Amino acid sequence: MTSPVIAMTNIRKTYNEGTPVANEVLHGISFALAAGEFACLIGPSGSGKSTLLNLIGLLEQPSGGTYLLNGQPIQEADDDTRTRARLETLGFVFQFHHLLPAFSALENVLLPGLMLNGTITAEARATATRLLTAVGLAGALNKPPNQLSGGMQQRVAIARALALSPQLVLADEPTGNLDTHSADEVFALMRNINRERGVAFLIVTHDPRLAARCDRIIELRDGTVVSDAPNQV
């Protein structure tokens, strides 16, 4: 049987550990995500969603528990190994697209490859062009972010997240800064990428409309998974 893309067992996260103001925000999180899944993570503000996403994305380290990435323990790996694993396996989409304003759409999509390899190859440029075309931005390759609408900027961010063919895209409120129409378009794009390319998605959202369109809903409350079930739609 193929290993899940991610598998977390009894993950805990404490800030200011070992001090009088230590604060445990995740209390033994356990779940796995298989290749090709399209899941969402919901819960009230302060429930630990962003902390959990940061741990999955290797931006922070857990205080306890086990995190397997493609079947391999990753939480205690050195920084270089974690950085390479982050670039090669995971893609990121945020509420605020974080595009570099001085760079064109194409140049923004090329950034992950530049970070990983230290150079931009003809193959990488061709891949970035194909991705931007696939997300409907063939005519905007050379435009800077300030010449694009919010929805278009988020499409660039999705193309950037896919630049290195990740197995899993982590999306933190990816439609939270968009109007309803643009949010629906961006969500539909992620859904199509999931179905057509087999990329797994884990989406943090406060929008019940979007959660209802995911295949699996994981609910976090007070740092604990209180529900994890297929969406019965």
Q: pLDDT band for position 225 (50/70/90)?
A: very high
Q: Which pLDDT tens digit goes with each residue over 155-178? A: 888 888 888 888 999 988 877 777
Q: Return the pLDDT at 224.
A: 92
Kindly state the tokens that stand for 141: 């390759």
Closest residue by Cα to residue 72 from 164, 169, 4: 4
Distance between CA atoms of residues 206 and 73, nearest Å: 31
Report how many domains make up the chain.
Answer: 1
Does the residue 29 lie in any domain? no
SS3 content of the chain, % helix, strand, coil (to 5): 35, 25, 35
Q: What is the pTM of this model?
A: 0.87
Does the residue 223 lie in any domain? yes
Q: Which pLDDT tens digit goes with each residue over 5-15? A: 999 999 999 98
Does the residue 2 lie in any domain? no
What's the domain range around 149?
37-50+79-230
Does the residue 211 lie in any domain? yes
Does the residue 141 lie in any domain? yes
Average pLDDT estimate for 20-34: 91
Does the residue 207 lie in any domain? yes
Q: Which pLDDT tens digit goes with each residue over 124-141? A: 889 899 888 888 888 889
Q: pLDDT band for position 97 (50/70/90)?
A: low
Query: In terms of C-beta density within 10 A (0-12 exposed, 13-18 middle, 19 or more buried), how is residue 55 classed?
Result: buried
Q: pLDDT band for position 220 (50/70/90)?
A: very high
Does the residue 14 lie in any domain? no
CATH number, domain with residue 158? 3.40.50.300
Q: Return the pLDDT at 96.
A: 66
Does the residue 69 lie in any domain? no
